Amino acid sequence: MGKLLRFNWLMFGAMAVLIALGTVSIWSAGGAREAVFHGLWKSHLASAVAGLAIYFALAFTDYRYTVRIASPFAYGAALVMLVAVLFFGDTFYGGRRWLWFFQPSEVAKLCTIMFLASLVTWNDGDGVRAVKLEESDDADAAEPGGSGKKGFALFALAAAVAGVPALLILAEPDLGTTLALAPAVVVMLVAAGVWRKGLFTALGVAAVAVSLVLGAVWEAERPGQDDEKRAAILRHVPLKPHQVKRVKTFLFPESDPMGAGYNLRQSLIAIGSGGVTGKGLGKGEANRLKYLPPSVSMNDFIFCVYAEETGYIGSLALLALFSALCLCGAWTAWRSRDACGRVLALGITTLIFAHAYINIAMGVGLLPITGLPLPFMSSGRTFLLVAMAGLGLVQSVSIHN
């Protein structure tokens, strides 16, 4: 009975409503497509039912056992799968990301977060971190930016733990998945007090590097630039040709409206045409007339289908649901008396937030387009199961802490 009283019903309810909305949106998007897409909503619903079993199993199992004992083995298995997919995986849309019936990169994100939460809090114990620091006689060990237990050595080890799967995912290639994992890792390291001074310095350097790359692409691809100078500039840009094209589309959305910028253009038209109240379920013209390709309408651009049919009000409701979900995760982390539970909850919550933010932002032109599913909404068995398993672990922190 005590566990049910500590069960976060708001977080569970927000997740359940998002899954229901996702099922309806996939049904609507699939209704205008070929027969092969018509039944994807059933697959999404079946995956959600299986995900609920995983969710409740993890929620009512003490996360300390799951993270401390199982995470090293899960992390090792994830690395093996990431290597295997590079040699034996199936290739779709230019990337080798599928191993049989699932995507190892999605599983690897959760396994990495679990193992990292265990690693960076290994010596923190199960009590309140503040009390531990007050009782410590070693001020250097207690100082996050010092040379003690939370200094550069642990930062380097954590960076290696997160970097190896990130590099393997990039080799598929899958830049979007790596971009979603990065903020979760950063938030976890900051929350655990791992070499904060150096970490913030590294983030500043990364921000400058990204700005320089964006500036270089802007200069190379701006209208009127001659081919010779463009080639000379892009020779020093660490991006592949298709990635440069996506950044160019982000910087100059009208440069190729029927080519690289087609999906973004149709996305903006669909969202804008929804108006205040939307056109009604199954009545979105951009979807019914197949302006958005079937390969993206039920996955990366499912928000566009939803926004056109539910309008501004429906979009606000969707954002409110994601906000409630993330705030519940942050509240669980804030109330956690265990450092491992706090870092774990923050990492998983940040991963969900990053997916939602990047997916919606790219649909409205605020970020370059990259293949990243919208949590609980997009069609995709692996990520749905992984996201539900992650929230099951956050629920476990709420119940057992």
Where is pLDDT greater, at 306 or 139? 306
- The pLDDT value recorded for residue 294 is 64
User: In which residue are the tokens 């003690």 written?
Assistant: 148
Rounded to an integer, the average pLDDT of 356-371 is 88
Please state which of the ranges 10-19, 41-50, 123-132, 217-226 shows the lowest mean pLDDT: 123-132
CB hemisphere CA count around 41 (13 angstroms): 18
Domain total for the chain?
1
Please state which of the ranges 202-206, 296-300, 357-361, 390-394 shows the lowest mean pLDDT: 296-300
- The pLDDT value recorded for residue 239 is 83
Q: Which residues on neighbouring strands pair with residue 99, listed in sequence order? A: 102
Question: 173: cis peptide before it, omega within 30°?
Answer: yes
Categorize the per-residue pLDDT at 264 as very low, low, confident or very high, splitting at 50, 70 and 90.
confident
* 247: in domain: no
* 215: in domain: no
Could you report the per-residue pLDDT of 268-315, keeping only the tens digit for each?
888 888 899 988 887 777 766 667 766 667 788 899 989 999 999 999
- How far apart are the C-alpha atoms of 231 and 79, rounded to whole Å? 37
Beta carbons of 311 and 276 less than 8 angstroms apart: yes
The identity of residue 185, as a single letter, is: V
* 115: in domain: yes
Containing domain of residue 182, as a range?
2-192+267-400
Using the predicted structure, report yes or no on whether residue 145 has a pLDDT greater than 70: no
* 262: in domain: no
Rounded to an integer, the average pLDDT of 332-338 is 93
- The pLDDT value recorded for residue 3 is 72
Could you report the per-residue pLDDT of 97-117, keeping only the tens digit for each?
778 778 899 999 999 999 999
Where is pLDDT greater, at 223 or 96? 223
- The pLDDT value recorded for residue 134 is 36
Could you report the per-residue pLDDT of 149-190, keeping only the tens digit for each?
578 889 999 999 999 999 999 888 788 888 899 999 999 999
- The pLDDT value recorded for residue 32 is 60
Please report the DSSP string for 75-106 in residue order.
HHHHHHHHHHHHHHPEEETTEEEEBTTB-HHH
Write out the two tokens for 198. 């150096």
Using the predicted structure, report yes or no on whether residue 66 has a pLDDT greater than 80: yes
The pLDDT mean for the chain works out to 85
Could you report the per-residue pLDDT of 69-87, keeping only the tens digit for each?
999 999 999 999 999 998 8
* 257: in domain: no
* 207: in domain: no
Using the predicted structure, report yes or no on whether residue 139 has a pLDDT greater than 70: no
DSSP H helices in 222-338: 227-234, 241-251, 262-273, 285-288, 294-297, 302-335
- The pLDDT value recorded for residue 128 is 39
Using the predicted structure, report yes or no on whether residue 338 has a pLDDT greater than 70: yes
* 35: in domain: yes
- How far apart are the C-alpha atoms of 67 and 119, rounded to whole Å? 10
* Terminal-to-terminal C-alpha distance of the chain: 15
Rounded to an integer, the average pLDDT of 250-277 is 82
Rounded to an integer, the average pLDDT of 237-251 is 83
* 221: in domain: no
Could you report the per-residue pLDDT of 192-206, keeping only the tens digit for each?
999 888 888 989 999
| Percentage, residues of the chain above pLDDT 70 | 88
| Diameter over CA atoms, the chain | 72
Rounded to an integer, the average pLDDT of 130-140 is 39
Rounded to an integer, the average pLDDT of 34-55 is 84
- The pLDDT value recorded for residue 92 is 67
